[in-house]
């Protein structure tokens, strides 16, 4: 399993579409570079899942930190985003 860590995770409103945006940084703590990393983000309102998405981060070199930003389509920040109480973020796969 890749040795990747996620930092500075923020959940905010997109200024363009008013949808929920998840952004942060991922650090590759291994000596192997990855051309593609699949990341899963699960957003919760208390114990209820409100979003469960997978997205890719391309070109993550060994020892590097890379910023990411993902818009969660069809999830209106004004209706749900302010009520998100927690999240899970983890690596699905990397190659």
Look at residue 52 in the predicted model and tell me its pLDDT: 97
2: its two tokens = 């890749």
How far apart CA 42 and CA 36 sit, in angstroms, is 20
Look at residue 5 in the predicted model and tell me its pLDDT: 98
Question: What does the CA dihedral 47, 1, 25, 54 come to, rounded to 10 degrees?
Answer: -50
How far apart CA 87 and CA 43 sit, in angstroms, is 5
pLDDT in tens, the chain (95 residues): 789 999 999 999 999 999 999 999 999 999 999 999 999 999 999 999 999 999 999 999 999 999 999 999 989 999 998 899 999 999 999 99
Q: How many CB atoms lie within 10 A of CB 75?
A: 19
The full set of domains in the chain, from first to last, is 4-94 (2.60.40.10)
Look at residue 1 in the predicted model and tell me its pLDDT: 73
- pTM for this entry: 0.92
């Amino acid at each position: 399993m890749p040795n990747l860590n996620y930092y500075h995770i923020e959940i905010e409103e997109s200024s363009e579409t008013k949808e929920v945006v998840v952004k942060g940084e991922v650090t590759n703590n291994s000596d192997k570079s990855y051309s593609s990393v699949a990341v899963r983000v699960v957003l919760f309102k208390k114990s209820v899942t409100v979003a469960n998405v997978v997205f890719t981060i391309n070109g993550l070199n060994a020892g590097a930190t890379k910023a990411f930003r993902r818009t969660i389509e069809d999830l209106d920040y004004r209706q749900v985003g302010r009520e998100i109480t927690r999240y899970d973020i983890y690596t699905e796969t990397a190659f």
